Amino acid sequence: MAADRGEFSSRFGFLMAASGSAVGLGNIWGFPTNAASNGGAAFLFTYLILAFALAYPALMAELIIGRYARANAVTALKSLSPRPSIKLVAVLVGFVGIVTVSLILSFYSIVSGWMLAYFFEPFMRLLGLNAVGDWLVADTELRNALFVIVFMALTIYIISAGVKDGIEKWASRLMPSLFVILVLLILYVFTLPGAMAGLKAYLLPDFSRIANPQLLVDAMGQAFFSLSLGVGTMLIYGSYISKKENLPTIGSLVALLDVGIAVLAGLLILPAMYVALENGVQIFDANGGLVAGPGLIISVLPALFNTMGIIGGVVAVAFFALMTIASLTSSISMLEVPVAYSVEHHGLDRRRAAVGIGALITFISLVIVYNFDPMFDLVVTYTTEYSQPLLGLFFCLFVAWIWNRNAILEEIRQGCPDAESGLFWKIWPFYIKYICPVAILAVYFQ
């Protein structure tokens, strides 16, 4: 069984795949704008605490369940449940997770499609095809539909190839490129006038904001979305980790990489926005806050690139390549959840499952594209603000209250023989049992 399920071939492969899942639009787009509108470094500070105190323990819960059960979320949660009634809850949580992650992918692929379209635009201008360039950056249903299809085709292609030859191979190529592009872009933007003002807006803390409950809610939502928690993504990646690996260590590396890239992205986005301001681009919205939502990436930054002449084209290509890579390494981790389930549970062939489920999700995306106004925000809100935190809560409850403590320790001991005397085992069980559920519920009812 283990051999045909697939397994990551190395620690590096797993780290690239898992950090690839975690690092996405949430880091490069969501985090910097959340920080800018929530008191700069005050948000950063709160986010760092929540990421390590709440999201990391929840991430560990998923990785441990996954590696123990070596199966998809439905089967895995069921295998921890002692009684039929609890098995029923397990199946329900696993299923809601599969539906939620599929819906997240259906809106994520729309935004990713925009990134792909903006990536191609400078090439069209270079070829003198200005009309095509204009079409690529005009918000039309046809463009959105076509690029959703292209983006989903790439996602399906990678997932069809399997764990090692698809996910691991592509994440190991794409994630180092993402890092290099990000650092080069930061260095370049730092040389431009206005960048230092952006750095100040990002890094000078406005601690009067820390008491604001909205800041806590935003920071926790951001941390859960960013670490891909609650829907079985990290669980299924955990199920492909070798029993020789030290789970607490690689889990903390994933969290560090995710937070690190988010913090780095802030060093790019906020200085770039203030460079745009210097160049005469409007960066504040009607309420005096920084432009955040879609406007930031698809109007402020392109306007900035346009003021930069020839070099603007190069920077635009690099930036949208960065966004596309970040999206793709995340979208594959989403599609893997339903695909792994149907392969393991219904015996489907992986390629067929990837194409069939991928096509179904693409269809849902197209429905959203053609009914954008009522549907897009609704799907985003339902999946990320309601479903995901609640499911995260259930994963914590399963590990801490239903699963047997000795079995958990046994699982961690594989690859980490002296786990029992380590710091992780002193803190984590308490955290996952009391602190995480209470904190998630508290924020949820905000």
Contacting residues toward ligand TRP, per CB under 6 A: 21-22, 24-27, 101, 104, 225-226, 228, 231, 233, 330, 333-334
In the complex, minimum distance from the CB of residue 27 to ligand TRP, in angstroms, rounded to a whole number: 5
In the complex, minimum distance from the CB of residue 234 to ligand TRP, in angstroms, rounded to a whole number: 8
Q: Residue 267 or 419: which CB sits closer to ligand TRP?
A: 267
Q: Residue 236 or 416: which CB sits closer to ligand TRP?
A: 236
Instruction: Specify whether the CB–CB gap between 158 and 170 falls below 8 A.
Output: yes
d(CA 149, CA 224): 27
Q: Residue 342 or 384: which CB sits closer to ligand TRP?
A: 384
Q: Residue 122 or 266: which CB sits closer to ligand TRP?
A: 266
H or E segment to which residue 96 belongs: helix 84-126
Task: Return phi, psi of residue 284, to 5°.
Answer: -110, 145
Please tell me whether residue 57 adopts helix, strand or coil conformation. Answer: helix
Buried b (16+ CB within 10 A) or exposed e, 120-129: bbbebeeeee
* DSSP E strand stretches across 152-199: none
Angle at 99 between CA 94 and CA 102, to 5 degrees: 125
Please tell me whether residue 390 adopts helix, strand or coil conformation. Answer: helix
In the complex, minimum distance from the CB of residue 210 to ligand TRP, in angstroms, rounded to a whole number: 23
Name every residue whose Cβ is closer than 8 Å to that of residue 333 and which is 6 or more positions away in sequence: 17, 20, 21, 167, 228, 233, 237
Q: Residue 62 or 344: which CB sits closer to ligand TRP?
A: 62
Region label for 282, one of left (φ > 0), alpha (ψ between -120 and 50) or beta (otherwise)? beta
In the complex, minimum distance from the CB of residue 308 to ligand TRP, in angstroms, rounded to a whole number: 27
In the complex, minimum distance from the CB of residue 258 to ligand TRP, in angstroms, rounded to a whole number: 8
Q: Residue 36 or 325: which CB sits closer to ligand TRP?
A: 325
Q: Residue 103 or 281: which CB sits closer to ligand TRP?
A: 103
In the complex, minimum distance from the CB of residue 318 to ligand TRP, in angstroms, rounded to a whole number: 19
Among 194, 183, 201, 203, residue whose Cα is nearest residue 272? 194
In the complex, minimum distance from the CB of residue 3 to ligand TRP, in angstroms, rounded to a whole number: 26
User: Tokens 């509108």 belong to which residue?
Assistant: 37
